[in-house]
Amino acid sequence: MKLTGAQIMIKSLEAEGVDYVFGLPGGAILPTFDALYDSKKLKFILVRHEQGASHMADGYGRATGRPGVCLVTSGPAATNTVTGLATAYMDSAPMVCITGQVATGVIGSDAFQEADVCGITRPVTKHNYLIKDVRDVARTVKEAFYIAKTGRPGPVLIDFPVDVSRATTEFDYPDSVDIRGYEVPSKGNPVNIQRAADLINKSKRPCLYVGGGAVVSGAQKEVVELVEKTGIPITTTVLGLGIFPENHPSSLRMLGMHGTVYANYTVQRSDLLIAIGARFDDRVTGNIQKFCPQAKIIHVDIDPASISKTVHVDVDIVGDVKPVLKQLNKLVTNRRGKIRDWLKQVQEWKDKHPLKYRKETQELQQEHIIRKIGEITKHNAVVATGVGQHQMWTAQWYQFAAPRSMITSGGLGTMGYGFPAAIGAQLGRPGETVVCIDGDGSTQMTMCELATAAYYKIPVKLFIMDNEHHGMVRQWQELFYRERYSGSQTGPSNPNFIKLADGYGVQAFSMTQKEDVEKVIKQALAHKGPVLVHCRVEKKGNVYPMVPAGHALDQVMDMA
């Protein structure tokens, strides 16, 4: 029996095991939405803005490891997804975005709601397609999902002209994928793995630096085994949080601009840095010319383009982190006895430079609230964040214990990401507690999705850290721009968040003093539906430690 292209698109999504589709209808994609109406397997989540749909698909993908799916119409709807695509691309989040397009015969004529979506999104997608023949729909979907989730994951866009969605052909979903020129490295070069093991077994001041690639690979067991077998201290990036339990004695927590002092010192003074699934982002390395001046560097990554892109490495291993570490773990030895002095030095740095905040103040501090959320959830919640001070304090104070539990925009730094991503994560992991820690500025960029959470009764717990500023901007202006606060104060125009939540039909609580913290967190977590918690926090707190831009990692500003 022949099916329309739209019906084939929906049948193909079903064949890929998709459960949720996030989106918003419009003219060019209406045939696909009409076919979606008949699906018994796909659950559609109607968003209030297409950017929200892209972030929900991203959050779903990060939380589950399976590509999230968003479905929107042409023109402005498609361009509204670009920020979400760029966010997913920078952080290697698996996602498939399907956009409507004008009929193939009028493409290029400036037709109503036409945009060159493939041209616009080419720099921020792993791959994209413009389907011109209905016979290509099923194959395109199969390839898109394969590309999105294999190798270094990322977003794939399918641009779907309305006439192709109405055309008919036989439906036959392919069993396999054969894409010429697309190869996924897996096990790594055994010669280079042996070279890496030899360096590890001879090193005197080794340090592990682990990023989001280890999370994507599902390599938690192998990372823990490597640390426990060798005794080497480990630090992670913001996207690597949770790959190794942060209460473990070998954990140095996060490194970089707002990482721990002792992680940065350890990295800078090491003689061997073992980078696993990380890309040497500038927020991690600080001044690249002064990064790890005495260290040889081993780099394990599935993306060959990441090797020696910013930092020259001595041993490169191109492959999937999990199988590479399985091989490496057989070759390394217990180093504790050989690096006893090094471990003693690292412990001295940890004792001398702990994370801290001013506990004597009467003002409500974000660090305190986040630490308490961690304690009350036993560090087992899935935590999504926006971008700003609250994001860095969450990375510092939540104490992540499991992978795929920190859902945040690391590379692009997308304000407004947190709440819609939390919705996607919650739908992907329905039995778990999902908390969104956001700022007043970041929240207001996508707060229309409160309507989505309310309508579908999605039980995300949103904690808004309201300091009446774009806090990180204000911090930089205080420290580096002579306290010239240009455009960084939000306070006079902030809404009444409690009334706002009430207007959406969302349960709301207020937190204004330290005595409120534990009680309100417990009330929020106990409520079965979505919750907004308005936290009136210190207005001019700064995130420390901090490595100023252009400085080396060990040139750290810390709280006095």
Q: Where in the chain is the domain with CATH 3.40.50.970?
A: 2-170, 366-536
pLDDT recorded at residue 559: 87
**pTM across the whole model:** 0.97
Task: In whole angstroms, give the CA distance from residue 158 to residue 140.
Answer: 8
Task: In whole angstroms, give the CA distance from residue 248 to residue 266.
Answer: 16
Q: Are 96 and 67 in contact (CB under 8 A)?
A: yes
Note the CATH number of domain 190-352. Answer: 3.40.50.1220
526, burial (CB in 10 Å: exposed 0-12, middle 13-18, buried 19+): exposed
Closest CA to 14 of 44, 49, 40: 40
Q: What are the respective helix, strand and coil percentages of the chain, to the nearest 5? A: 40, 20, 40
- CATH architecture observed for domain 2-170: 3-Layer(aba) Sandwich (3.40)
End-to-end CA distance of the chain: 74
Instruction: State the DSSP H helix or E strand holding residue 129, giving kind and residue range, or none if neither.
Output: strand 127-130
> Which residues fall within 8 angstroms of residue 98, CB to CB, at 6 or more apart?
9, 29, 32, 69, 70, 71, 72, 157, 158, 160
Task: In whole angstroms, give the CA distance from residue 555 to residue 557.
Answer: 7
DSSP string, 76-114: HHHHHTHHHHHHHHHHT--EEEEEEE--GGGTTTT-TT-
Q: Are 396 and 254 in contact (CB under 8 A)?
A: yes
State which residues of the chain have pLDDT below 50.
none
Q: Where in the chain is the domain with CATH 3.40.50.1220?
A: 190-352
- 67 prior amide bond cis, ω within 30: no
pLDDT recorded at residue 186: 85
- In one letter, which amino acid is 376? I
- CATH architecture observed for domain 366-536: 3-Layer(aba) Sandwich (3.40)
Q: Are 505 and 484 in contact (CB under 8 A)?
A: no
SS (H, E, C) 365-428: CHHHHHHHHHHHCCCCCEEEECCCHHHHHHHHHCCCCCCCCEECCCCCCCCCCHHHHHHHHHHH
